[in-house]
Amino acid sequence: MFRTRLLSGIVLVLLALVLIISGHEVLLFSTLAISCIGMFELYRVFQVQKSLLAGIGYLSAVVYYCNLRWNFVTDPVMIFMAFLILLMFVYVFSYPKYKADQLMAVFFGMFYVAVMLSYVYRIRELDRGLYLAFLVFLCSWGCDTCAYCVGVLIGKHKMSPKLSPKKSVEGAVGGVAGAALLTALYCFIFREQMHLESVEIAILAGIAAIAGLISMVGDLTASAIKRNYDIKDYGKLIPGHGGILDRFDSMIITAPIIYYLALHM
């Protein structure tokens, strides 16, 4: 199991390198595809993955991503309003086929997965975006790895015993510190390419610490949903890891944080 998980992790890292370096439409449509798979996994929890409601969700994600590239709708809120209105039309005129919680789950899924994950692409489009985009992976996967190692070594105090009994406060501190240190090291190595001063490296390390802390909330949120609906994994797409949401749960919430903090750096 460990070997399978390790090999899958290596493949994911290599794939991330290729997509981030390629950028532009390659990254845009790859992120869209990943988002749609993640939405399918989440919709499956609410048993609407192949419904008309879900179809509107997938279509809305496509429109949203295309708008990121070609900007044919100046105010993205219009896309979300149209999405919600279409969902309400289907809900009302097919009543009582769907339940209210399924309607809300479809809207939530599009925003939670597709919109939040799209910030990986949006970061890549910024100045120095090629290097900043990798911070998302450092802060999410780096934080996860450091938190796991520290937790195994010295973890004693449970962070959320009912939700995730194996996660410890010591592990959380180690994860946050690890994300900051990895980011500082990464920025120091590429300081010339990123045109960074020492102060900016320190700021980015601080941003990484904040993003790492918040990434744990993303991880626990995905875990809470699974516990609410008594499922082990969202899918089996990634051997040893589960589904898209099992592997990208922390990244989903990390990407927007890094984008907005880096945008005003």
- Taking only the tens place, the pLDDT of each residue in 143-180 is 888 888 888 778 777 877 777 777 888 888 888 898 89
Res 165: pLDDT? 73
Cβ contact 42:235 at 8 Å: no
| Predicted confidence (pLDDT) per residue in 77-91, tens digit | 999 999 999 999 999
Q: What's the one-letter identity of residue 162?
A: K
CA pair distance 46, 34, nearest whole angstrom = 19
CA pair distance 204, 84, nearest whole angstrom = 37
Tokens of 118: 């799209």
Instruction: Tell me whether residue 106 is exposed, middle or buried, using C-beta atoms within 10 angstroms of its C-beta: 0 to 12, 13 to 18, 19 or more.
Output: buried
Name the more confident of 81 and 220: 81
Lowest mean pLDDT among 27-36, 58-67, 106-115, 136-145: 136-145
Distances (CA, A) of 67 to 73, 113, 166: 6, 17, 41
> How confident is the prediction for the chain on average, in pLDDT?
89
Q: What's the one-letter identity of residue 68?
A: L
Distances (CA, A) of 200 to 127, 168, 176, 190, 257: 14, 31, 18, 12, 17
Asked if the model's pLDDT at residue 98 lies above 90, the reply is yes
- Residue 145's Cβ-side half-sphere holds a number of Cα atoms within 13 Å equal to 14
Model pTM score? 0.91
Cβ contact 198:221 at 8 Å: no
Q: 165-174: b or e for each residue (b if 16 or more CB lie within 10 Å)?
A: eebbebbbbb
| Predicted confidence (pLDDT) per residue in 20-32, tens digit | 999 899 999 999 9
Q: In terms of Cα–Cα distance, which of 261, 257, 179 is closest to 218?
A: 257
CA pair distance 225, 220, nearest whole angstrom = 9
CA pair distance 180, 203, nearest whole angstrom = 10
